[in-house]
Each structure stands twice: as C-alpha cells, then as structure tokens.
Structure 1
Amino acid sequence: MSSRMSRKPVTKKIINTPESCVDDNLRGVVATYPMLQLHPKHRVITVRTKVDSKRVAVLGGGGSGHEPFAGGLVGNGMLDGAVAGSVFASPPTGHVLYGIAQLYKYNSGGVIVIIGNYTGDRLNFGKAIEKAKIAGLKVEGLIVGEDVASSHNKTGGRSMCGEVYFYKLCGAMAEKGYDLASIRKIAAEANESMATLGVCLSACSLPGQPPLFEIADDEMELGAGVHGEAGIKKMKMGTAKETVSMILDQIIAHLKLKSGDRVAVMIDNLGGTSFMEMNIISAETKDYLESKKIVVERIYSGHVKTSLEMHGFQICLLHLNQTRGDLWLELLDAPTAAVGWIGGAMSRRCDEPHEDDDTLLQSDATKAATGPSLSSTQQKLFKSSLTKAAEEMVKQEELLNRLDSGCGDGDCGITIKKFALAILSYLKTASVEYPCNVLWELSEIAETDMGGTSGGIYSLGLSAASQSFASANVVDATSWLTAWEAAMHAISTYGGAEPGDRTMLDTLHAAATAFKQSLPKGLKTALAQADEAAEKGARATAGMTARAGRASYVAAGYTSDEDAGARGAAVWLHSILTSIAHTC
C-alpha cells in the first residue's frame, strides 16, 4: 500500500485556509470585541488607550490554537496585551518585542511578560525581553509552569491552564498599583503553589492535518499537553468520579496538601468537552476535595487554554497558603473586563446547602372527590380497560422504537413502556371511582415517569380530560367524548400540531370524529367505528409530510413509515375500545 493510500484523513475544520487561520482568528476576536486593538502585522492584541496609565502592564501570549488564551484574556484587570504565534508555535522575537514596546508606550510603570515554560517561548520571549532592556524599556519576565506530568524535567513542568491564573493575579495587582518588582515576586510565589494534571479522550489536529495521535475508544491519555501532545500513560476509560479522583490524588500529593488547606480550582476544557461533562467534572472535583477536608474556595470551569478540538480536561489547583492565600483570593475576585475569564461574582464560595422545598409543589394525596363517580361495575370495566391498554403498550415497545428510529431518537417504545408500567403499578392499589381523579393521576404519572416530549403531551391531554370531568354531571358516552375533545384541544394548543401534521392527533382526531358521528347508531357501533378510524388514522401518517413534532425537523426520506406516536395512540385506543365493546 502506498504512503498516500495509508494517510489518515484530514480533520474537517471551518476555516478559509490553514495558512490564514491564525490571522483570521485574530480578526474575529476584534470583530466581536471592537474595544480591543489588533496590530495585524505583529499579531498583537492590546486594550485601546491613548494615555499613560502610569502603572505596570501585563503581556502574555504564545502559540495559537489555545483560544480564548491569550487574545481573549486581554482587558482591564488581566492582560494589557497578547502576542499570538502560529498554531502551537511560539511567536517570533520581533513580534514579542513589538508587544512589549506597544504596552510600555502607555504604561510607564513597566511591563511584566508572562512566559509559558516551553523551549520556543523561553527563547523568543526571553530574547525580546533582553532586547527591550537594551533599548531602555522597563520590563521583567516570569516563566511559569505547573504541569505534574512533566515536573521531573530539568526546566520544570510545562505551562498549562495555570498560566491564566498568572494573567489574573498580575492583572489585578497592576490595577491596584503594585510596582513591577512586587508583581513579579508575588506571582513567582504562586507558581510554587499550583499544579495541573489532565486527561484526553481523543487527539486534536492542526488545520489541514489528520489527528496528531491515535487513542483507542476505551482508552484515555493521562498527562496530555495543550499542544496536542500525547500523554505520559494510556489508561482504560473510567467514570467521571474515578478519573477525577485519580487526577486529584496526584495533584494533592504533588502539592502536599492536607486537611484544612484551601484551594482555588481551575477546570480547563481542552476544546471538545461538552458543558454537561464539564459540570459533572466540577461536581466530582468539589466532592472529592471536600471528602479530603480540603476547602474549595473557588471553582473556575470552562474554556481557558484549549488544545483546538481535543476532547479532555485539566484540573489545576492553586493552594491558597497561609502566607499569600488571602491576597491571591482577593486578586482572583477582582473585577476584569477580559471576556475570556470564567470567574465572577457567581463563583464565590457559599456554604448554604442545596435543597428542595418539598412543600412547595406537594400533591395532595387525599384529594377530594371531584366530578361524577362510577358504579362498581363501571369501575371494574374502567380498571380492566386501562390494564389491557397498558399491557399492550408494553408489548409494542420494539415496534414503536423502530418506527421512531428514522425521524426521532428511537425511544418512543421505551417511553410509552415506562408510562404503561407506571400505570400498571398505580392500578394495583388505586381507586378508580372518580374518572376526574384517575385521569389527573395518570397525567401526573405521564409527567414524572414517562418524561420528555411524549410525557408532556400525554400529561397535557390527560389533565385537560380530567378538568372536563370535573365539571361533568354524569359519566356517559357524551361526557367521555367531551373529555376526549378537551384533551385533543390542549395537545393542539400547546403542542402546536393539528390533524394532518403526522402526529398522534391524526389517530385521536380520526377516532373521535368517527365516534361522534356513529354515536346516534348506538355505543357498540360507535366503538367499532372509532377503532377502525384510529387504525386508518395511524396508517395514513405514513404518507403525510410532517409539519410538527420532531419528525418535521428531518428530511422527508426518513418519514416514509407510520408515525410512532400515532401508532402508539392506536395501540392503547384499540385495547380500550374493544374492552368496552365486549361488555355492550
């Protein structure tokens, strides 16, 4: 096989060209936030200013591909400027020097340059700083790195998301008027009190390139870097709780944290991790640290220093020690205009418990009898009809799932089965004397046990039917028909569908119309006609164009079979109608 044939496919990205993506990205930053100033020839972003602040300015930066780092972290209270290199590559010395000079022009207190602990950044930023000093500029550099996985290296751990802590600490100190030497000294102390470690589940890819490395579906890489590097160890996938515990054990040991220590936590999304996953990771992180009696003062979670689209996360702990902890926390809480900072007033620690007010929506278990009642014989028929309908709904799970798989998420049968099983459980002990109460209880069951869109539809319909019976005088065919029509009206009003839109209403409406038209000929005839019409209504949906519901969102080719909701309604209607017909 030729090398060309064996090459991995290029990862799709919405860009113009790989060559222009960095400059296009920077143009996008200032298009979105016009109060930032782009210096395009040098790939530098700064705050807009025309006067000397007289204070210290903070410059950060490094390779692109880590957004919002670093251009998105420019703003009063954080960076005054950021210089961008190519993707995962250090910016050249000349660009860094330009950034220093640009900031010094309007910040005569000097410039502190935050340098990530990577060879390219150390060399290019370092040379720029030395050139700036020769030119008479007041500037100092600070190399930061806090990665646990590479901490054994001669030059120390790589710079990970903890670098953003330095942007925040230094930016806040600059705003408060600290001088250059003090800012550098206090920030350097923070570097000794933080550690980062993370995992990735998939690799990222540079624009126009295939993924940087391979990882099996059931594996994750421990200690992956933010430049697309593979980790130091492949491990089997674990749960969020297991993964977080494993990471935190190593960070806690590295920092020698003990019971009673306080920390600020940064959980960095490496680019391709969902909000749901990140929230779960935050919860597990807080729980685990608290189980170790470590006080969690702040959690900052989100996109901080990403690695393009890498699926993974890092956890960084800043030990708020007795010497500087209170100051660092004050600086972290200080306001900033930087749009990429993920902290704020809502991040502050609160020890009040999270609990529900169980009395607020408490249902009345001894609900008063409402509406007309059923005779003993009618109660037996009512219960047996509901039981048979529920049992048949359970049997049709596979069919309904199959019908739903083309245009929905394939769970219609599962959802209806949940409802049916809950009904069967309810009927074991429930009184069915008052239809109003029974229908209301069924609506509650649909809401809690069925859930989702289907649960909402059924709950709406059943609650409307219940209210209809609350104002009825007798229980007869007409009162049932009125309740039936009330249910359809509620479903149509709130669900937005009408007969002909390829939903369960096509079954319900066809059956109700037939029942109403045939009722003068006798109940048995009306029941038979309604059953036949329900079947035809469900079948007719196979040829309809979906205009409402989930099926309306997909191409017509996926909706060539019957609508699952319409067939589900036909299933339970058939059971109920035939059960009643057998007693006529």
Structure 2
Amino acid sequence: MASIKPVTKKIINSPETCVDDNLRGVVATYPQLQLHPKHRVITVRRLEDSGRVAVLGGGGSGHEPFASGFVGSGMLDGAVAGGVFASPPTGHVLYAIAQLFKYNSGGVLVIIGNYTGDRLNFGKAIEKAKIAGMKVEGLIVGEDVASSKNKTGGRSMVGEVLFYKLCGAMSAKGYDLPAIRSMAAEAEKHMATLGVCLSACSLPGQPPLFEIAADEIELGAGVHGEAGIAKVKIGTAKEVVKMILDQVVGHLKLVSGDRVVVTIDNLGGTSFLEMNIISAETKDYLEAKQIIVERLYSGHLKTSLEMHGFQICLLHLNKANGDLWLELLDAPTAAAGWTGGEASVRSEGEHVDDDSLLQSHVQKSALGPSLSTKEQHLLRGSLIAIAEAFIKNEALLNRLDSGCGDGDCGITLKRFGQAILSYLKDCSLEYLSNVLWDLSEIAETDMGGTSGGIYSLGLSAASQAIASAKLNNVEAWLSAWKHGMQAITKYGGAEPGDRTMLDTLHAAAVAFEHNLKEDLKLLLKKTAEAAEEGAKATVDMIARAGRASYVSSEHMVEEDAGARAAALALRAVCHFLIDNIAV
C-alpha cells in the first residue's frame, strides 16, 4: 500500500482564503493600488481618463509577484487573479477590462499566458468586451523551449513579465493599441525560456505535487508545479546552466556578436546565494560564446509557490528592434516586483581589486622591546605548542560547539593552528609586537567568521600594548593581556561571566596578576590551573553573549567551546615555558 505524503506546512489562514488574503496583503503593502475584492482584480488608482492604452495581465495565483506585483506606472495597469494555478473566470477578466477601459480610452491590451484555461477565459472575456463596444485586443504569449513543439506553442513562462514591461513602457510613451500589440508579437518570436527544479511545490493544504530523487533535477519544469520533460543528474551550477543555455541558445539560433537580455527567474524556493551564482555562470557562458549580455535581471518574477528551481529566459535584441526593446526595458516603472533599474545597465571594464588598500597602515618597524635569540626560541616554541593544541583538539572543540553553536569551533581553530605553523617557517620573531600583529592578521584571514574577528581584535590590541612597553617582562605581558580582553569586550560585547572565552582569559589573568611577584615557573603553573578552572566554570553559566546566547540553556550541558580553546592555548604555552625556561 502506497504511503500517504504529508501536507506541506504553510503560513496561511486557510487554503480557501489564501488567494484573497494574498491580494489584501498586496494593497496593504502598496496602498496606491486599488483592490476590487469580489473580482480579485488589482488596478492603478485613477480618477480620470489617462487617454492612453492600458495593459492587463493575470492568471492563476501562486506565481507571486506575478501578476499583481507588476501593477504600476510603466508596466501593468491592472491584474486579475485566479485560484492557485487556476485561470480566473471570464466574468472577472471582463470586469478588469471594463474597469481599465473606463479610465484608459486608448484601449486595453490583454496579455494572455499560453495555457488552455487562460486562452479560453481571457479570450471569451475579450470577445464579450468587444461586443459591448470596448476597444480591446489580446495577445497570447508563450516562450517555453520544453513545450515549444506543442500544437499551440510553448507555455508562457517568465517571459510574460517582460511583455508587461515592454508594453507598459510603450503605453507610457503614447503608442497606440495596434503598435503596442504588433511590437509584442514580434518580440515573442525572439524570446525563449527553459527551467529546472530541484524539488516540487505543493498547493496550500496539499502534499508536494511530485517527487525528485536527491541526486536528480527536473529539466523543463513549468510554473504550475508540473514535472519536467526529463530527469537528469544534478551537477554544479556551471553544468546546470550550460545544460539549459545550450538548448535556449540553440533554439534562438544565437551566434557570436548577438545581443541579449537575460532574465533569471526564481521559481520560489531558491536562495539568493544560488541565484547570484547562477547569474554569474549565465553571464560567463554567454560571454564565452561572445554573445553580448546587455541586461541581466534576476529574482522572484513568476514563481511556482515554493518550488526550488529557476528559469533562464533570453530575449534576442535583433537589429530591427533591439534598441527599442532595450529602451523600453530601461524605462522607469513604479511596479514593485520589477527587479531592473539603473544598476542593471551594462558597464564596460573588468572587476579588479586594489590590493594596495588592504596593506596595513600600521608601519611594521622596531616597536617595543626586542627579543634576544633565547627569547625568540621560547616564543617560537610557545606558538608551536598553541598551534599543536588547536590541531590536536579539533574534534573536542567541534563537539563542545555543536550543542550551542554551529559545530565548527575546532575546524576554525585548526585552521588557525595550521596557519601559525606555516607563518613560523620564515617569519622574524625579533619584535613581539610585530608577531602579535601578524597573528591578528592571520586570525582575520585564515580563521574568518566570529572567532577570527575576536582573536584578531584581542591580538591586535595586545600588539599595540607591547609596542608601548619598555621591557619584555611579566608586567608588559599582563598589560598586553588586559588590553586584549578589553578590546574583545568593547567590540564583542561579552564580559566575564557570560560563558565565553573571556571567562578563561579573565580567570587566568587574575591568577597571573596575583602571582606576579612569584617565581616565574610558579606564576605559569598557577596561571595554567586558573585557565583550566575558568573553562570548567562555564558549565554552570548562562550564556549572555555570543552565538550560545541565542540557544536554549538545555542544549548547554558542557563547557563553552571558546573557553575550552582558550584554556588549551594558555595551558600549552605555560607548560612549554615551565619545561624550557631556566630555574
């Protein structure tokens, strides 16, 4: 017996009201728009005749921001919404046409997605409007490569949004209805889209529409939750983009020197990080073929609820009309869902770094006391001991971090340890202030993240304190220690008692200062013991700073990972010095 798929969780009031609640949300967010609730129509607010052509779009819901998100000057004058993935009824479309014609005597152009339900319901409404004496024309658009061999042509995909922009801009410029429709019909011949999905979407109150294996993607997925035309093994972003563009470029017969507009549509559940990678790979692919990318738009345009996937649409800017189409796409619009703008305009020039800006502004010179050859030997051994302690205890620190962090404390500090060992191969240890500064830079670049920032802050502050010292002695060490902790508190926000590495550092510093006049080996022994106790004490503390403060205390049953790491470092250096300094 087949297992029953669970209903997907969604934050809605009910499946029955979700479409109407969505439209209420649109006008709550954008009060300049007008909702006609009984007919599920949203229009631009008007009190008098614009004298120009109005553009109407629409179709099933579940594709947001399509279509109501594109209502605004320069794009749609109105949008009509059907149920989720269902065409709006004829009566609602007719109402939208009549509403727009009332305030736009130039007529109404209706953009119709190439789906059977939309063709029938929008078509019938257009014919009824004509009989009633309204000036209205329709245009069926569909540019999907996967379904392009169907008798009725390819399905309407994200390219429909480009028609809203092209037609809306022409209307704003005063073109008449026949001219706008003719331009759009011509543009459709030079547009193609193909998409993929990694996981299916689900209608409100329903389980996912289909299943995809963990190592597969659906090529040719539609925007109504349809599975694709083929299941293929998932690859890298570069490989998936190439698979799509090979077909789109071939379909449009693009060659070197051709100019295109690229639209990359998020099907609903794809992260911004993924979308940006896809954008970069798309641009690289086309430029490698010497196809000029004039504009690249990316974002949520015509989604499929929460489907994890994307579409790539290319509009070939041909010699006859390309400049006009580009002008229309660049024209201003108040529509909230449009992702283009001034920043989308193609710019010449490479993306390069000015590495001189990152060169340290702190002059590395003979600052602070210099170290003798013997002292340099002890410093080198101390740093090796710290590095080896971090590397050896990677698993322990990861485990301690997994309960209240992201489980990478050990990984991060292992990287630091390895970087320290690499640094020691050819560095100068003559000036402790310079060594501490170098270590702060290594923490920033090799550790990264929050831990890298904390270590970098503490070490750089300690470096400045040593640079001001007159002698290399325990008083200078204590001053550097305190300056490091103060910097961590100032910028990190934590204090002793907050269950962080500062609990170890503070406990050890107190012991160090208390035993400052004692024999050096006893001083180091007491310091190592205090560091150990400081780390152990964090077991019973409530986290009030750092990542652990965001987590329930029930997950924190062991020492803080950062506190333990600090104890490991202090214990390693203290034990090394005890074993190697003269009595």
Q: Same fold (TM over 0.5)?
A: yes
- TM-score, normalised with respect to structure 2: 0.99
Any idea what SS the aligned residue of 2:458 has? Answer: helix
Corresponding position of 1:296: 293
Measure the CA separation in 2 of the matches of 1:379 and 1:359. Answer: 31
| 1:376 and 2:376 are equivalent in the alignment | no
- Give 1:308 shift: 0.1
- Give 1:522 shift: 2.3
Any idea what SS the aligned residue of 1:519 has? Answer: coil
168, 184, 196: which is aligned to 2:193? Answer: 196
| 1:216 and 2:213 are equivalent in the alignment | yes
| Change over 3 Å in CA distance of 1:366–1:29 after alignment to 2 | closer
- Give 1:431 shift: 1.2
Measure the CA separation in 1 of the matches of 2:564 and 2:556. Answer: 13
| 1:577 and 2:571 are equivalent in the alignment | no
Any idea what SS the aligned residue of 1:201 has? Answer: strand
> Could you tell me whether the CA contact under 8 Å between 1:519 and 1:525 is conserved in 2?
no
Letter in 2 for 1:13: K
Measure the CA separation in 2 of the matches of 1:351 and 1:244. Answer: 24
Deviations 1:351-395 (A, max 9, x none): 121111111222489821111011111111111111111111100
Corresponding position of 1:166: 163
Q: 250-259 or 364-373, which moves further after superposition? A: 364-373
Deviations 1:284-337 (A, max 9, x none): 000000000000000000000000000000000000000100000000000001
Corresponding position of 2:41: 44
| Change over 3 Å in CA distance of 1:121–1:567 after alignment to 2 | same
- Aligned-residue CA RMSD (Å): 0.9
Corresponding position of 1:256: 253
Any idea what SS the aligned residue of 1:359 has? Answer: helix
Corresponding position of 2:538: 541
Measure the CA separation in 2 of the matches of 1:68 and 1:43. Answer: 15
Any idea what SS the aligned residue of 2:356 has? Answer: coil
Letter in 2 for 1:227: H
| 1:314 and 2:311 are equivalent in the alignment | yes
514, 517, 522: which is aligned to 1:517? Answer: 514
Measure the CA separation in 1 of the matches of 2:543 and 2:361. Answer: 40
Number of positions where the alignment pairs a residue of Structure 1 with one of Structure 2: 581
| 1:386 and 2:383 are equivalent in the alignment | yes
442, 450, 453: which is aligned to 1:453? Answer: 450
- Give 1:255 shift: 0.3
| 1:83 and 2:80 are equivalent in the alignment | yes
Corresponding position of 1:472: 469
Any idea what SS the aligned residue of 1:147 has? Answer: coil
Any idea what SS the aligned residue of 1:398 has? Answer: helix
- TM-score, normalised with respect to structure 1: 0.99
Letter in 1 for 2:489: S
Corresponding position of 2:392: 395
Aligned sequence identity (%): 75
- Give 1:532 shift: 0.4
Q: Give the alignment of 1:356-367 within 5 angstroms.
A: 356-363=353-360, 367=364
Q: Give the alignment of 1:96-245 within 5 angstroms.
A: 96-245=93-242
Q: 512-521 or 44-53, which moves further after superposition? A: 512-521
Letter in 2 for 1:352: G
Any idea what SS the aligned residue of 2:46 has? Answer: coil
Deviations 1:431-481 (A, max 9, x none): 111100000000000000111100000000000000001110000011001
Corresponding position of 1:484: 481
Measure the CA separation in 2 of the matches of 1:146 and 1:203. Answer: 22
Letter in 2 for 1:78: M
Measure the CA separation in 2 of the matches of 1:364 and 1:109. Answer: 65
- Which runs of 5 or more structure 1 residues have no equivalent in the other structure? none
329, 344, 349: which is aligned to 1:352? Answer: 349
- Which runs of 5 or more structure 2 residues have no equivalent in the other structure? none
Runs of 4+ in 1 over 4 A off after TM superposition: none
> Could you tell me whether the CA contact under 8 Å between 1:261 and 1:294 is conserved in 2?
yes
